[in-house]
Amino acid sequence: MKKTKIVCTIGPASEDKKVLTHLIASGMNVARLNFSHGDYEEHQGRIDTIKEIRQKLNQPIAILLDTKGPEIRTKKFKDGGVFLKEGSMFTLTVGDELGDENKCSTTYDHLAEELKKGDVVLIDDGLIKLTVREIKGKDVILRVDNGGPVKNHKSINIPGVNIKLPALTEKDTNDLLFGIKNDVDFVAASFIRSKEDVFAIREVLNNNGGEDIHIISKIENRQGVDNIDEIIEASDGIMVARGDLGVEIPAEEVPIVQKDIIKKCNYVGKPVITATQMLDSMINNPRATRAEVTDVFNAIFDGTDAIMLSGETAAGKYPIEAVQTMGIIAESAEGKLASDFRTRSKYINDQSMTSAVSLSTVQIADSLNAKAILTPTSSGYTARRISKYRPNCDIVAYTDKEYVQRRLSLVWGVEAYKIDVFSDVELLYKTIIKSAKDHFHVQNGDMVVITAGIPLGVKGTTNSIRIETVGEHVLKGAGLIRGRVRSGLRIYNKGLSDFKEGEILALTSFDSKAMDLIEKASGVVYSEKAFPNEVEMKLKGLDIPTLVGVESFEGYEDKEKVTLDASRGILYKIN
Q: What is the pLDDT of residue 353?
A: 83
Reply yes or no on whether 484 is catalytic: no
Residue 388 contacts residue 269 (beta carbons within 8 Å):
yes
Q: What is the pLDDT of residue 425?
A: 83
Percent of the chain residues topping a pLDDT of 90? 75
Which domains does the chain possess? 5-69+167-336 (3.20.20.60), 72-157 (2.40.33.10), 346-469 (3.40.1380.20), 475-573 (3.50.30.10)
**Residue 459 reports pLDDT greater than 70:** no
For the segment 29-50, the average pLDDT, to the nearest whole number, is 97
Please pick, among 154, 193, 202, 218, the residue that the annotation labels catalytic: 218
Reply yes or no on whether 390 is catalytic: no
pLDDT (tens digit, 9 = 90+) per residue, 275-332? 999 999 999 999 999 999 999 999 999 999 999 999 999 999 999 999 999 999 999 9
Q: What is the pLDDT of residue 461?
A: 72
What is the band of 348 on the pLDDT scale with cuts at 50, 70, 90?
low
**Residue 104 reports pLDDT greater than 70:** yes
Q: Are strands 139-146 and 128-136 parallel, antiparallel or unpaired?
A: antiparallel
pLDDT (tens digit, 9 = 90+) per residue, 170-191? 999 999 999 999 999 999 999 9
From residue 84, alpha-carbon distances to 88, 122, 145 in Å are 7, 13, 10
For the segment 163-171, the average pLDDT, to the nearest whole number, is 91
Reply yes or no on whether 218 is catalytic: yes
**CA gyration radius, the chain:** 30
For the segment 128-140, the average pLDDT, to the nearest whole number, is 96
Q: What is the pLDDT of residue 514?
A: 85
Please pick, among 51, 68, 73, 143, the residue that the annotation labels catalytic: 73
DSSP states along 539-574? HHHHT--EEE-----TT--TTEEEEEETTTTEEEE-
Residue 307 contacts residue 388 (beta carbons within 8 Å):
no
Q: What is the pLDDT of residue 423?
A: 73
Considering only residues 511 and 226, tell me which one the structure prediction assigns the higher pLDDT: 226
Residue 228 contacts residue 219 (beta carbons within 8 Å):
yes
Q: What is the pLDDT of residue 305?
A: 97
Please pick, among 276, 382, 469, 546, the residue that the annotation labels catalytic: 276
Considering only residues 32 and 422, tell me which one the structure prediction assigns the higher pLDDT: 32
Please pick, among 3, 5, 32, 573, the residue that the annotation labels catalytic: 32
pLDDT (tens digit, 9 = 90+) per residue, 317-330? 999 999 999 999 99
The length of the chain in residues reads: 575
Q: What is the pLDDT of residue 460?
A: 64
Q: What is the pLDDT of residue 340?
A: 53
pLDDT (tens digit, 9 = 90+) per residue, 496-541? 788 999 999 999 888 878 888 998 999 999 999 998 888 889 889 9
